[in-house]
């Protein structure tokens, strides 16, 4: 039995850390007179295993915190300058020119120049990480404060790299950078006790709006320990699960933030019979029938899933990008239409046998929904969806598998998956014919030539406004698309809400729609946070 022991930390809170009947030594107490109003304690998510190197993915799902980016999104996802003072895109979409501020220092007091931007992008491109810069032909500093990016072909989503990739210093980058980051962001790392806490302090050289908080301590706690820290006034912001969210905590406000952290069922879209180069089966004869997928899409009761599985802390999901600028709102469907869904199946020749299970041409309507073992929400969603779908006369089982097993099963079985990004490239990766079978992207082998054409036009657009219109048409152009209105290769179910207990005196500002639950997206606007007297 693991035992949670309280440790004195920072003079005003106790750290509850899991241990095996042994006390763990922590850092000495800070000045007991330090005002809580300029320090924060947060237990807002898991610890990054890879560290804090933007060139390998840190900051993709929220503020890089220690580093600055060239551009940033505001609350409405309009693009604003950060390190940049201006940027231009050439008429052919092949060149991005970025002008930089001339007053930026890294936390080690060295100036940030165009050469650091070049170094960052070249390092990220060569890293072989989740950051895909394969379309970047070259990046060049034309002077100390001007950078030119040359692309192999137009790519409107390249701007997302300018928004998310934190700039690292060429002079201070080494093999240990991920654990000892130097940057030009609002905070600098002071101490990292792996598995326990991360302590950061305000970067005195930060050029932007100064945060009210000189110090922040991130605690890495299990869910019950984090909730205990909130109840005992040992943390100012705590991420909680729907189960804990139902309990009142004195002095704390419950804040539920909307997201595109979605969950949905990915259905194989091709008939069975093919295999990958590794001999993994592809396709499913039942789910390859579009009528099956579309009937399920309108039969499921999304609100019931939000209420029953998420305890009300979520919203119905209709796409991978609900309410983002590139989402087509015309793609929402009226769900919980069991009778209409049944009529669709009847008309398509799916008739019920003596056992009440539908059959067509000797094929029985049955499949298994797979989910990652150990993920309680995906398990509950799978079971709930199965119960609802069975009312249509479709026999559905559920099964939890390891991710390794899912990689061998996901091309031929429905899988409860989750995505959610601030980058429309995610749509391309999930739905483009060119990405079929590439990792978890388009693992259901979906293909629609018309949608492909729209997405290529979106990728090659030279303005974001033009790109957004093509992304919307790829979802539904009035006749076809990859949304529920069209082919329904996915049945999207819910968007999770990210739930926090926040000290009632702490104002966390206006939060933008959160992405998938990696990183610490709640800190993205940390410069807006302040105490209210």
More confident residue, 246 or 100: 100
Mean pLDDT of the chain: 92
Q: Which pair of tokens denotes residue 412?
A: 């031929």
Number of domains in the chain: 3
Report the distance separating Cα 328 and Cα 343, nearest Å. Answer: 27
Do 305 and 403 have their domain in common?
yes
Q: Give domain status of residue 31, yes or no.
A: yes
| Structural domain span for residue 472 | 262-495
Do 39 and 101 have their domain in common?
no
Q: Which pLDDT tens digit goes with each residue over 428-468?
A: 999 999 999 999 999 999 999 999 999 999 999 989 999 99
Report percent pLDDT > 70 for the chain: 93
Q: Which pLDDT tens digit goes with each residue over 272-315?
A: 999 999 999 999 999 999 999 999 999 999 999 999 999 999 99
Q: Give domain status of residue 18, yes or no.
A: yes
Name the nearest CA neighbour of 368 among 267, 466, 280, 450. 267
Q: Which pLDDT tens digit goes with each residue over 412-429?
A: 999 999 999 999 999 999
Q: Phi first, then psi: give them for residue 464, nearest 5 degrees.
A: -65, -35
Helix (H, G, I), strand (E, B) or coil at 119: helix
Q: Which pLDDT tens digit goes with each residue over 44-93?
A: 988 988 899 999 999 988 889 999 999 999 999 999 999 999 999 999 99
Query: Number of H helices and number of E strands within the chain?
Result: 12, 28
Q: Give domain status of residue 385, yes or no.
A: yes
Whole-Å CA distances, 267 to 231, 334, 336, 491: 43, 20, 19, 8
Residue 366's DSSP bridge partners are: 395
pLDDT at 4 over 60: no
Residue 372's DSSP bridge partners are: 401
Q: Give domain status of residue 517, yes or no.
A: yes
Q: Give domain status of residue 429, yes or no.
A: yes
* pLDDT of the residue at 129: 85
Name the nearest CA neighbour of 174 among 222, 123, 223. 123
Do 471 and 385 have their domain in common?
yes
* pLDDT of the residue at 13: 38
275 contacts 281 by C-beta, under 8 angstroms: yes
Diameter over CA atoms, the chain? 78
Do 201 and 176 have their domain in common?
no
Do 487 and 466 have their domain in common?
yes
Q: Give domain status of residue 61, yes or no.
A: no
Q: Name the pLDDT band for 36 (thresholds 50, 70, 90).
A: low
Residue ending a domain, choose from 146, 163, 183: 183
pLDDT at 393 over 70: yes
* pLDDT of the residue at 5: 29
* Torsion angle of the four alpha carbons 66, 68, 74, 75, in this order, in degrees rounded to the nearest 10: -10
Domain with residue 142: its CATH number is 3.40.190.10
Residue ending a domain, choose from 151, 168, 183: 183
Do 34 and 138 have their domain in common?
no
Domain with residue 369: its CATH number is 3.10.105.10
Name the nearest CA neighbour of 281 among 295, 296, 290, 268. 268
pLDDT at 20 over 70: no
Do 371 and 445 have their domain in common?
yes
The residue written with tokens 């990183």 in the block is: 519
Do 409 and 307 have their domain in common?
yes
pLDDT at 10 over 90: no
Report the distance separating Cα 504 and Cα 92, nearest Å. Answer: 51
Do 368 and 472 have their domain in common?
yes
Report the distance separating Cα 224 and Cα 428, nearest Å. Answer: 38
* pLDDT of the residue at 252: 97
Q: Give domain status of residue 60, yes or no.
A: no
Pairing of strands 530-531, 314-316: unpaired
Do 511 and 475 have their domain in common?
no
pTM for the model: 0.89
Residue ending a domain, choose from 161, 183, 205: 183
Report the distance separating Cα 97 and Cα 89, nearest Å. Answer: 7
* pLDDT of the residue at 383: 98
Q: Which pLDDT tens digit goes with each residue over 323-379?
A: 999 999 999 999 999 999 999 999 999 999 999 999 999 999 999 999 999 999 999
Q: Give domain status of residue 510, yes or no.
A: yes
Do 233 and 281 have their domain in common?
no
* For residues 481-497, average pLDDT: 98
Do 131 and 229 have their domain in common?
no
């Amino acid at each position: 039995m693991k035992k949670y022991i309280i440790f004195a930390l920072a003079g005003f809170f106790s750290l509850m850390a899991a241990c095996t009947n042994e006390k763990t030594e922590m850092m000495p107490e800070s000045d007991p007179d330090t005002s809580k109003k300029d320090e924060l304690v947060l237990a807002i998510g898991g610890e990054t295993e890879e560290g804090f190197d933007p060139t390998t993915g840190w900051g993709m799902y929220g503020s890089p915190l220690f580093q600055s980016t060239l551009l940033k999104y505001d609350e409405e996802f309009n693009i604003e300058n950060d390190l940049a003072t201006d940027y231009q895109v050439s008429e052919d979409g092949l060149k991005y020119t970025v002008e930089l501020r001339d007053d930026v220092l890294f936390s080690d007091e060295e100036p940030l120049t165009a050469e650091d931007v070049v170094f960052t992008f070249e390092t990220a491109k060569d890293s072989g990480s989740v950051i895909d810069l394969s379309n970047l032909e070259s990046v060049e500093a034309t002077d100390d404060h001007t950078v030119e990016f040359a692309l192999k072909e137009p790519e409107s989503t390249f701007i997302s790299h300018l928004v998310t990739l934190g700039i690292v210093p060429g002079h201070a980058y080494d093999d240990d950078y991920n654990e000892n980051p130097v940057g030009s962001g609002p905070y600098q790392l002071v101490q990292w006790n792996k598995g326990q806490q991360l302590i950061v302090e305000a970067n005195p050289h930060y050029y932007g709006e100064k945060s009210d908080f000189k110090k922040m301590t991130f605690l890495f706690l299990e869910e019950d320990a984090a909730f205990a820290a909130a109840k005992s006034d040992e943390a100012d912001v705590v991420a909680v699960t729907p189960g804990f969210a139902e309990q009142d905590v004195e002095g704390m406000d419950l804040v539920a933030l909307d997201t595109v952290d979605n969950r949905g069922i990915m259905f194989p879209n091709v008939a069975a019979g093919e295999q990958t180069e590794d001999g993994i089966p592809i396709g499913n004869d039942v789910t390859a029938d579009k009528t099956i997928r579309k009937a399920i899409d309108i039969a499921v009761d999304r609100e019931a899933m939000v209420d029953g599985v998420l305890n009300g802390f979520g919203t119905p999901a209709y796409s991978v990008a609900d309410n983002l600028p590139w989402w087509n709102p015309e793609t929402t469907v009226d769900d919980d239409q069991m009778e209409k869904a049944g009529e669709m199946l009847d008309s398509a020749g799916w008739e019920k046998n003596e056992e009440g299970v539908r059959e067509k041409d000797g094929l029985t309507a049955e499949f298994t929904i797979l989910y990652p073992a150990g993920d309680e929400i995906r398990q509950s969603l799978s079971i709930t969806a199965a119960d609802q779908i069975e009312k249509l006369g479709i026999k559905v089982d559920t099964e939890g598998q390891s991710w390794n097993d899912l990689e061998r099963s996901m091309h031929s079985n429905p899988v409860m998956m989750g995505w959610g990004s601030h980058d429309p490239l995610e749509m391309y990766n999930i739905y483009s014919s060119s990405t079929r079978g590439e990792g978890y992207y388009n693992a259901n082998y979906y293909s629609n030539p018309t949608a492909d054409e729209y997405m290529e036009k979106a990728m090659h657009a030279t303005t974001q406004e033009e790109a957004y219109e093509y992304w919307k048409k790829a979802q539904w152009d009035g006749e076809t698309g990859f949304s529920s209105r069209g082919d329904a290769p996915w049945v999207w179910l819910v968007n999770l809400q990210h739930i926090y207990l926040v000290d009632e005196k702490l104002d966390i500002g206006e939060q933008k729609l959160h992405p998938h639950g990696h990183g610490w997206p709640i800190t993205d606007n940390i410069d807006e946070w302040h105490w209210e007297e």
